[in-house]
Amino acid sequence: MIETWRWFGPSDSITLRKIKQAGATGIVTSLHEVATGAVWEKRDIQARKEMIEAEGLTWEVIESIPVHNDIKTRSGDYLQLIENYKLSIKNAAQCGVYTICYNFMPVVDWTRTNLMYQLPNQSHALRFEMTDFAAYDIFILKRDGARDSYSPAVVAKAELAISDMSDEAKLELEKNIIAGLPGGEGSYTRDTIREAIEEFIVLGTEGFRENLFAFLREIIPVAQTHGAKMCIHPDDPPFSLFGLPRVVSTADDARKLLNAAPSPANGLTMCAGSYGARGDNDLVEMVKEFAERVYFVHLRNVTREDDGSFYESDHLDGDNDMVGLVHALLSEEQRRKAQGQSLSLCAIPMRPDHGHLLEDELNQPNVKPGYGYMGRLKGLAELRGVMHAVSNFMRR
């Protein structure tokens, strides 16, 4: 697999040189300065690509070209926005960047309730706490029908939690949930998020799924024509939030999506942490089933709890079988090679995801939640060891 690193562009405090010193050879990035829905111009893509290559690295994956909410709801100027998206795919491919990760999550992108969850070793992880999320939804946002989205046990715990929560803690919780996390598509106020939620809820799960499929029918032929590979990121977390529809959360969702646009350009991002936050997703079996359409991998681990809560554990410790997952991915690379595919098509880009915040970075400014340097460097080193060990075992 190709070892890559998520980079947030020239303003990122983690420089390309630091990334190279971490051992990564590829970069995963986006033109974050381009407004969602606007065309990615060739000159901007090429300039960013040249900046990356000047440090001896390659731009392996675009993560992401964001999908405008009007496309997801098929409202407003969505037809023009789809045309803009097609042109962005074409321009990226013509600049030599072919793998494009994107997501189709409604309203909120990846979501956590606690960005500083302290682990036993005193490092800090990202956490999604179901009780706190329900407390926000029911008692702070006061969404209509919110109580019906949770079990009576969760509602009771949420009521107790909110009664013990200070005003400062309530504001921090709201900030974590709706202010936007790194790589997301922006932020909301309490009023605007209520409006956005209602707009998506009326679609229902199958209506929202059909909007995704309609989008795929437009963009996948363009991607195939230009040699691009679209790889959708799963919902994070992979279950409904705010009563919203979720359509990329399970193996069955992935199956339906791939069948909706049966093209080699229509693929998946295997995010182990996102899919793995559900106990009924068998990641190793998913890789085996969808192997030829897995074009990008996030290797991250989680520890799940019975009520749907989870926190991000060490990369090699948690509920996901990371060794089995790496073995399945390397086996797919071997299969591609045996079929005579070029090396560039055989190798699957991977990146360590959401590292822990370690002591030396604890009080440093501009450290993005989940995206510190040392925690991801630690994760990459651990994953590299697994990949080497599994590769050696497979050669015997």
Taking the domain 2-112+201-395, which CATH number applies? 3.20.20.150
Q: What distance lies between CA 331 and its chain's CA centroid?
A: 23
d(CA 35, CA 24): 28
Q: 104 with 98: CB under 8 angstroms?
A: no
Q: 16 with 24: CB under 8 angstroms?
A: no
Q: At 2, give phi and psi (nearest 5°).
A: -85, 125
What per-residue string of b and e applies to 68-105 under the rule 16 or more CB within 10 Å gives b? bbbbbbbeeebeebbebbbebbbbbbebebbbbbbbbb
Contacts of 214 (CB under 8 A, 6+ apart): 74
d(CA 137, CA 145): 10
pLDDT band of residue 164 (cuts 50, 70, 90) is very high
pLDDT band of residue 32 (cuts 50, 70, 90) is very high
What per-residue string of b and e applies to 216-243 under the rule 16 or more CB within 10 Å gives b? beebbebbbebebbbbbbbbbbbeebbb
pLDDT, average across residues 211-235: 98
Bridge partners for 128 per DSSP: 310
DSSP state of 276: T
Mind listing the pLDDT tens digit for each residue in 121-155? 999 999 999 999 999 999 999 999 999 999 999 99
CA neighbor of 117 nearest in space, from 158, 176, 70, 162: 176
Instruction: Look up the pTM and report it.
Output: 0.94
Mind listing the pLDDT tens digit for each residue in 331-346? 999 999 999 877 677 8
Which helix (H) or strand (E) is 76 found in, with range? Answer: none
Mind listing the pLDDT tens digit for each residue in 347-381? 999 999 999 999 999 988 889 989 999 999 999 99
> Distances from the Cα of 259 to the Cαs of 263, 266, 267, 270, 290, in angstroms?
9, 9, 11, 17, 11
Q: What distance lies between CA 306 and its chain's CA centroid?
A: 23
Give start-end residues of each CATH 3.20.20.150 domain in the chain: 2-112+201-395
Q: 268 with 290: CB under 8 angstroms?
A: yes
Bridge partners for 394 per DSSP: none
- Which residues are part of the catalytic machinery? 233, 271, 298, 353-354, 371
Q: What pLDDT is stored for residue 109 in this prediction?
A: 85
Bridge partners for 259 per DSSP: none
**114-118 and 124-128: which strand pairing?**
antiparallel
CA neighbor of 243 nearest in space, from 106, 126, 113: 106
Q: And the tokens for 58?
A: 């390659």
Bridge partners for 200 per DSSP: none
pLDDT band of residue 96 (cuts 50, 70, 90) is very high
